[in-house]
Structures are given as C-alpha cells and as structure tokens.
Amino acid sequence: MSLEAIFDKRIVFMTGKGGVGKTTLSMALAWAAQERGKNVILMEVDKSPNLRYILGKDIPVYKETRIAPRLAVFTLEPFKALEEYAALQIKVAAAAKLFLNNRFVSYFMQAAPGWRELVTVGKIWHTHQRTVGRGKNKRPEYDMIVVDAPATGHGLSFLRVPAIFADILKFGRMQSQTKDLLDMLRDPERTVVNVVSLPEEMPLNEAVTLADMAKSTMGMQVGVTFMNGVHPEPFLPDEKAACDNLLSDEAARNTLDQIWPCSGKALFDAAADRQARAQSCRQYLELAAKRLPTPIVELPYEYPGRVDMDGVKRLANLISQALCGGV
C-alpha cells in the first residue's frame, strides 16, 4: 500500500499509548484530508479535553459538530448509540427509550460485557453507510471517517468484540449485522489502522504490540506509524563545530560570562540538552525502523508542547507532505 493511499481509505483508526498525541494527530490527519477535498468526520471514542483545547470550545457529546466546510467532529457515547440502534430496530424511538430505561434492563446492561464496544463499532459502521443525494448523485456522506481510538490498555481491544460476537452468534439478524461490522474492519480497501508513538521506550513497545495485534490477531490492514514529538538536531554540522570551538576556548567563555553573567553557561547547557534529546530520538527511530512493520512518518516536537489549531494545521501540512510527497 502506498502512503498516499491512506487518504483513499473510508475508515482510518488512530491508536497508541496514552499521552503520545493521538488525538492531536487524529485531528491533523482529518484536517489534511479535508484540505485535499475530502468530506471528513473525526469520531472520538472517548471524550478528550485535548480536542476541546485544540478547537477552543466545548463539543457536545453524541452530536455532529461542523468545524470547517468539509470537516465535522463527533464524540461517541455507548448508551446513546445503543438507544439509537434500538430505535432503528424497534422503529419507534420513544418505545426504544422506554425499554432501555427500564431498571431491570438498565441493571443488565451495566453488567453485560462487550455491548459498549459492539455498539461503538456499530455507530462507526452506520456513519460509514450514510449517503447523500439520489440516483446518479448518490454518494457517501463522508469520504473519510477518522477514529480517535481509546488509549491502550483499551487500545484496539474494543475492535476485537465483533469477532467474539460473530463466534457466539450463529444465526439471526444480529449475527448478520455483526458480520457486517467484521467485514468493514477487515476490508483493506476501506479500513486502515495507523499507530501513534513517541521516540521513547514504553510508547515504542506499545506501538509494536498494537501493530502486531491489528495485523495478526484482528486481520486488519496497518498503515503507518506516526512518530510524534521528534526533537530535531539543534545545529547544522558547521554550527556544531563552531559551538564546540567556543566551548573549548576559555577566554571566549570568560568574555561571554562577562557580557551575560550566569546566562552564557545556561545557553550551552540548553544546547547540550537539545542535542541529547535529538540523539535519543534518533536512536529510538533507528530501533523503531527495525521493530515496526510499518513505514514511519516523523513529526517534530511542538514547543511549548501543547498544540492549538495553528499547530494542528502545521502538522496537517507535514502529514500531507510525508504521505503524498509534497502534494
């Protein structure tokens, strides 16, 4: 699969360890896709304060909110998804709500395993099925659905539930519907999983596990690993040589201390820290290239560390350049 083909997928799952910037990069990928003319919806499985920080406003749960002409965001909520599914099956929304609000049914649903994950995937499938227009003008409402999956431990494990239910349910309408979910997840023409990591030991180990789980255990296509927060080298080779020469020149250092008392040393300490961070990143990137079965897309560390909408747009541009060769 070519890297550019990621923009041709209907459903793109983004997964990774908590704290690696998964929500930020999900938003950046969605923005990059809509910049390329796609109608996109970003669906977050868990409500994220980071998305609200990026957008600078609150986003209601379980309500599509348009933030650009071709981009909407949506926060999933399992019980509301179940209520919507029940209404589709019973055909009367009020009756479905009355049924689910029955205290015995409510107690059962709180204890029953797997239903939250199943209706979550079902809502993604239902969104994927929606169309606009009629006849020759009929087309999918959304060209791409970017799913900000839960952070691991939960990770991609919520996507394993349809396969479990497919093994349990041997007949009936729900068995057929569960098979539709499984077909969607495993269809390489429609669906891809991207992994988000940092150039650090624990996130990298998690990324390797997730990529293997998606491919080997779940039979899903794996796209790329977005290696987020990569510290660049602070100096070009000739600048590094000049800095080393200055450090070795005692007279020059004394003059610098006279001009900037206490600050001259701090500047060199900061430079050394930046160099150490860049070297560490490079080592983990080399290790990632050996351990991960995916192409790696490097994205720079954003100062001061928390990304707003302007930062998302910068990352979106870098993602487009990396996936499409500057297109």
Domain ranges of the chain: 3-232+293-324
CATH of domain 3-232+293-324: 3.40.50.300
Q: pLDDT 10s digit of each residue in the chain, 327 long? A: 789 999 999 999 999 999 999 999 999 999 999 999 999 999 999 999 999 999 999 999 999 999 999 999 999 998 888 878 777 766 545 544 554 455 544 544 554 567 788 889 999 999 999 999 999 899 999 999 999 998 865 667 788 888 877 776 666 677 788 889 999 999 999 999 999 999 999 999 999 999 999 999 899 999 999 999 999 988 888 887 887 787 788 787 778 777 777 666 777 788 888 899 999 999 999 999 999 999 999 999 987 767 999 999 999 999 999 999 754
* Residue whose C-alpha is closest to residue 299's, from 192, 211, 225: 225
Q: How distant, in Å, are the alpha carbons of 88, 89, 168, 192, 326 from that of 297?
A: 41, 43, 39, 15, 13
pLDDT of residue 163: 82
User: Residues 51, 27: contact at Cβ < 8 Å?
Assistant: yes
pLDDT of residue 267: 75
Hunting for tokens 């990591």 — which residue is that? 197
Cα angle 87, 88, 90 (rounded to 5 degrees) comes to 60
- pTM equals 0.89
Q: Which H or E run contains 118?
A: helix 115-129
What percentage of the chain's residues is helix, strand, coil (to nearest 5)? Answer: 55, 15, 25
pLDDT of residue 108: 47
Long-range contacts of 135-140 (CB under 8 A, 24+ apart): 140/10, 140/39
Tokens of 298: 């490097």
Q: Which residues contact 87 (CB under 8 A, 6 or more apart)?
A: 93, 96, 97
Tokens of 226: 């977005």
Tokens of 6: 């990621």
